[in-house]
Chain A
């Protein structure tokens, strides 16, 4: 009786998760994988094979867009880590207990506004007739308005701004668990600030660093709005290619192929990143 009740509650708790994973993640992914393997040869006539994938590898523009997306996402992740770590460290270790919640909230507030509005905020600031350009002209620092949108730097700034919160949150929670006595012991045993940072703080924060980096990298590589709005046609973001294939060119087969490739490639980058830094999910993210 008791065991049955336990099993029932397990099933009930597990059901929404299973439905979500099954219906919204696994099933569509299988569908995408299926579509990516077929090729339209006539009306309602399909052939199956890897020709879509061959087409992708044969066309440098697709390949390069994917590589460029991955490369820029890595850059965004690195910048978010470098900028987010001091913020997280300050919130978790240096801010007074009372102000901690307020600081955390200040990080969260931008999330209350939609992506679109936030990207538009950057546009207002950076466009040729925008706030920064006109101010600089008014101050006489530059003679002509400058266009600061539609280049890689702007895309990266916008992406870092969008994803940095997802770096800060896991970092704060891991750093908060760190006993101050560890730092003091680090100094007491003769460590300099740099040694304590490198050998105690960073290794301790590694679970947060790894999960933060995975989240921000995946978000950056999979983002669509920010690169399109801030980078325009020049952004050449891979998600834009997927969108084009599905919506503009109505080529679902290519779109699906690109979707699968993005998933496989970003997963590969995460795996390679873990390997290169000598980390594994078991010892970092899944650590008790």
Chain B
């Protein structure tokens, strides 16, 4: 059985539709992410699941039971807030015990439960510490412990890594995934950071303008994006705009707006002359010429070293900057050199342009 089902959820604020017709099914024990730019409605969706907003229409089920009419304090979904919202006037132990006391647990059992959950998040014995004495990563874990001690059906996480510095964020990604495994609880994770979503999730729903663009595993989203939005938002991509000059089976030749032609795979059925975007991932580009329709010529503009994620920036004849993956800078190109880049047509994906 699924831990969480949303069916046709709609939320309107006056004339503005924040969430329009969203459905999702989160299987028990999975790490499920909702990925989208800010303002796409993902926070509204989460607040509806937590019960802070009432949906305009649609249904929310937790473990098969509709919770739409339940107030937030009677739903067994717990939430890790964006800024964690640890209670500053209580120490760590009291923060964690708060939920247990609200639930009416036997007073004698509470200290043992608090100690056990602190141990599970790897911070044994910090009950007496004040919130201000904790580091960013520790606060994070306390916020999770405070929810997990109540054994929720679903744990909602609202961009909890946003406030951390980069190094810690990378660390916490792995840590969160491990915590999820350890607790075997369903996590619903909201983020605008595609790398967080890809690294941690079993499944990702990409959200834009109140709708889901695509739901799939991180690999599916990356390899087979269902829309131009997903292709541009998930992972790095070079994007070119143009018109379809010729349709060849599932492939099409694109006449670029800036001049030049590119051959790629159509991700959706398209007609000749349709305005399209063509997306090519940096790692799909290789050095060396090919047929004219699968080759871009230019000069090396700059080299960006970042270990296995190193990039070469190439300025094409039409002045566009193109990113090419160059792990460990193994190619040995130098700045200012002439260079040809080519790609397999299957790895260049064509989508119809959409307004906005």
Contact = CB atoms under 8 A, between A and B. Distances in A.
A182 B87 CA distance: 7
B40 to A, nearest CB: 20
A138 interface: no
A189 B89 contact: no
20 contacts: A179-B83, A181-B81, A184-B52, A185-B79, A186-B87, A186-B98, A187-B51, A188-B50, A188-B51, A188-B72, A188-B73, A189-B102, A189-B146, A189-B147, A189-B150, A190-B74, A190-B102, A192-B73, A199-B98, A203-B87
A203 B147 contact: no
A184 B72 contact: yes
Interface in B41-94: 50-52, 71-74, 77-79, 81-83, 85-90
Top-4 shortest CB links A-B? A189-B99, A190-B102, A181-B85, A185-B85
Given A200-B87, A204-B88, A190 B71 contact: no
B103 interface: yes
A188 B79 contact: yes
A79 B182 CA distance: 52
A234 interface: no
A189 B268 CA distance: 45
Interface string A200-230: 1001101000000000000000000000000
A9 interface: no
Interface of B: 50-52, 71-74, 77-79, 81-83, 85-90, 98-99, 102-103, 146-147, 150
B98 A184 contact: no
A257 to B, nearest CB: 42
A184 B85 contact: yes
A141 to B, nearest CB: 44
Contact of B73 (A191, A200, A203, A204): A191
B73 A187 contact: yes
Contact of B102 (A191, A204, A206): A191
A102 to B, nearest CB: 23
B141 to A, nearest CB: 16
Contacts of A185: 79, 81, 85-87
Contacts, number: 63
Contacts of A203: 87, 89-90
A206 B150 CA distance: 28
A61 B52 CA distance: 59
A181 B73 contact: no
A20 to B, nearest CB: 35
A199 B71 CA distance: 19
Contacts of A64: none
A195 interface: yes
Nearest to B96: A189
Nearest to A202: B89
Nearest to A283: B89
Given A188-B78, A206-B89, A181 B102 contact: no
A150 to B, nearest CB: 44
Nearest to B146: A189
B85 A179 contact: yes
A195 B100 CA distance: 12
